Amino acid sequence: MLKMRNLLVCAAALLSGVVAQSSSVGAYVSSESPIAKAGLLANIGPSGAKSSGAKPGVVIASPSTVNPDYLYTWVRDSSLVFKVLIDQFTSGADTSLRSLIDEFVTAESVLQQTTNPSGSVTTGGLGEPKFNIDESAFTGSWGRPQRDGPALRSTAMIAYANWLLDNGNTTFVSNTLWPIIQLDLDYVRDNWNQSTFDLWEEISSSSFWTTAVQHRSLREGSTLATKIGQSSVVSGYNTQADNILCFLQSYWNPSQGYITANTGGGRSGKDSNTVLASIHTFDPSAGCDANTFQPCSDKALSNLKVYVDSFRSIYSINSGAASNAAVATGRYPEDVYQNGNPWYLCTMAVAEQLYDALLVWSSQGSLEVTSTSLAFFQQFSSGVQPGTYASSTSTYTTLTSAIQSFADGFVAIHAEYTPSDGSLAEQYSKTDGTPTSAVDLTWSYAAALTGFAARGGNKPASWGASGLTVPSTCQSYSGPTVAVTFNVDATTVEGENIYLTGSVTALENWSPDDALLMSPNNYPIWSITVDLPANTVIQYKYINKDGSGDVTWESDPNNNITTPASGTYTTNDSWR
């Protein structure tokens, strides 16, 4: 293992330490980059060294099959991985990747059409998070739907489409890519305001990560549609992108200075979800825009400090680190999965956000300190005050030098707990840094590559975040709806009532407190009619509340229906 913890010091304090750390981190980036690239490619079928059984273009999450079993393909992970490869290909960094990218396009087109527990391609199936590596549906119990996948997949394919258009291949874009992309974008347009499991697959509510990547996908999807003459969808995409941008603002917690990652779940909301969203919706042309939570925005920087600080005291390996030094970070401080350890991709994400911020400050020749970001900047210069500091000022130099070292500190931690062969697991132990959980996590390799690219000054393409205005009033979009009448045969005693709740906003997102009161007009049949999204797989349950407010849920499993495209629908259930 590379040992660099002794180098994690504030740049403004020890210049000699800065030089040494920069050199050490640079050496790690040079040595680990080809290993990460090879590790990523090894997990892509059919010829990847660790992807046996995977169809062409299918990304396995990890070759691990026991504790945990990750030998599946996730739409989210696959899309993020191929976005890295598409960016390398389109930038000219690796021109050998085109056939692999085309295989990814074909594989995802198959998965889109594969009927699964979330539905068919027209009834919610695009929200299915994972599949078997032979492209068949995974039918086991899981946290579904997860509505980030279509947004991320469309973003990856739009990047490829833009390169093809620039190189004169309009036919392939229009005939092959656009039908795939449009399915995903239409799903985002019609379902963005429905409940979703978050990217960690644990909480069903609304998720900052999902909302942010959905917003990006519709913006760049609208631009692509205009380029190729698909004007009929542009207005709908733009309207809902505005509504999503409006909703995105609601995650900001001004009194605490951070982005609350999920609207449900009962946790603090301090979560790597928010840092990952900032770097994956980075648009250099948007500067430090706070409405889209750009990496150098005051809200994103304030959030980053709160997120990082939440791990300082909970991991043994962070013991003794200075209050302004880099530390190991994980998904969220309350995490207990696999004993709740730091994750390689989460630690690298912090560095990447800081590198992105540095790139924008350098490009615009100044940085701004606001009352919102003041605590972040005071880590590096305790006397700094709100204001705009040009690159010619000593304050700018002091702050950016310190932040560069701070960012390098997170890469140094990443390096310290990377084993000598360069392999990257999902997590590393919070007590001694030993790699743990799934081995060779493809997303860990992808995150290393994007972090290294950001450190090298990589400037991603703009996706349309610049100059956006948040609407004064947020409007929810429900898409087409159908009237669904729920009937349940349920015997009660005096003082008890039957309520309904379920997986969509119209059914109050599984909230027992806000569940819908049913009517016993034909007792013991209780009834209610609700307008629900059309063409959608919906889960629901009935609950019994007595006069004191005690709640009794009917027994598992959840009830399921698929709503029709139009008309009405009626259920006839019996209390379990």
Residue 258: inside a domain, yes or no? no
338 and 390 together in one domain: yes
Residue 147: inside a domain, yes or no? yes
- Between CA 451 and CA 470 the distance in angstroms is 30
Task: Name the binding residues for substrate.
Answer: 142
217 and 351 together in one domain: no
314 and 456 together in one domain: yes
Domain boundary among 462, 496, 511: 462
pLDDT value of residue 476: 64
Task: Name the binding residues.
Answer: 142
- Between CA 80 and CA 155 the distance in angstroms is 9
Residues with active-site annotation:
198, 201
- Between CA 150 and CA 147 the distance in angstroms is 7
pLDDT value of residue 21: 60
Residue 76: inside a domain, yes or no? yes
- Between CA 276 and CA 274 the distance in angstroms is 5
Q: Which domain CATH number covers 500?
A: 2.60.40.10
413 burial type by CB count under 10 A (0-12 exposed, 13-18 middle, 19+ buried): buried
Cα 420 to chain centroid distance, Å, stands at 30
416 and 528 together in one domain: no
Domain of residue 147: give its range. 53-253
φ and ψ of 159, to 5 deg: -60, -40
**Series of mean pLDDT values for 10-residue runs along the chain (576 residues):** 37 38 87 98 97 97 96 98 98 97 98 96 95 98 96 98 97 97 97 93 95 98 97 95 96 96 92 98 98 98 98 97 96 97 98 98 98 98 97 98 97 97 98 98 98 96 96 73 93 95 86 92 94 85 92 93 89 96
Report the b/e string of 5-24 with b at 16+ CB within 10 A.
bebbbbbbeeeebbeebbeb
CB 21 within 8 A of CB 7: yes
Closest residue by Cα to residue 59 from 115, 107, 125, 128? 107
pLDDT value of residue 478: 56
7 Cβ neighbours under 8 A, 6+ residues apart: 17, 20, 21, 24, 409, 412
73 and 207 together in one domain: yes
506 and 447 together in one domain: no
Q: Which domain CATH number covers 364?
A: 1.50.10.10
Query: Given 3-state DSSP classes, what are the helix, strand and coil percentages for the chain, each rounded to the nearest 5?
Result: 40, 15, 40
Longest Cα separation, the chain: 81
Residue 148: inside a domain, yes or no? yes
pLDDT value of residue 11: 34
